[in-house]
Amino acid sequence: GNSVTQMEGPVTLSEEAFLTINCTYTATGYPSLFWYVQYPGEGLQLLLKATKADDKGSNKGFEATYRKETTSFHLEKGSVQVSDSAVYFCALSDQGGGNKLTFGTGTQLKVEL
C-alpha cells in the first residue's frame, strides 16, 4: 500500500535560517504529492502540491519538487520566520487523482529569534 515517511522533529531553527524537511513516499504509479501545514490550535491547510514528476509546488516562500527517481518531495524555504512555526505534513493521493490522502507522521518546526 501507499506510505509516506518524513523526518522526525522537532526541528528548531533560528530566524532566517534555511529549512529542509525530508519526505519520501512509496506508491504505485504517479501519485499527487502535498504539503499541509498545521498552525497551533488550527486545522490543516494546504501549503503546496505537485501532480506530476518534476513539478515544483511553491507558496509563501516554501518550495518542493516532485522527484520520481528518488520518490521524494522535500520541503524547503530559504529564510524561515517565527510565524512559520507549525507542524508540517507530507501527503500523497493515488494516481488518477483519487481523493484519499495518505499522510506522514508530521514534523514540528520551531523557529526562534
Question: What does the binding site for another protein look like in residue numbers (CB under 8 A)?
Answer: 4, 36, 42-46, 49, 89, 93, 97, 99-101, 103-106
Give me the residue label for grid cell 520541503: 75
Smallest distance from another protein to CB 111, Å:
21
Considering the complex, state which of residue 46 and residue 82 has its C-beta at the smaller distance from another protein.
46
Identify which of 56, 58, 55 has the alpha carbon closest to the alpha carbon of residue 47.
58
Smallest distance from another protein to CB 84, Å:
19
- SS (HEC) of 19-88: EEECEEEECCCCCEEEEEEECCCCCEEEEEEECCCCCEEEECCEEEECECCCCECCEEECCCCHHHCEEE
Smallest distance from another protein to CB 51, Å:
8
Identify which of 81, 39, 35 has the alpha carbon closest to the alpha carbon of residue 58.
35
Considering the complex, state which of residue 44 and residue 78 has its C-beta at the smaller distance from another protein.
44
Considering the complex, state which of residue 72 and residue 108 has its C-beta at the smaller distance from another protein.
108
Smallest distance from another protein to CB 17, Å:
25
Three cell numbers, residue 80: 524561515
Considering the complex, state which of residue 42 and residue 69 has its C-beta at the smaller distance from another protein.
42
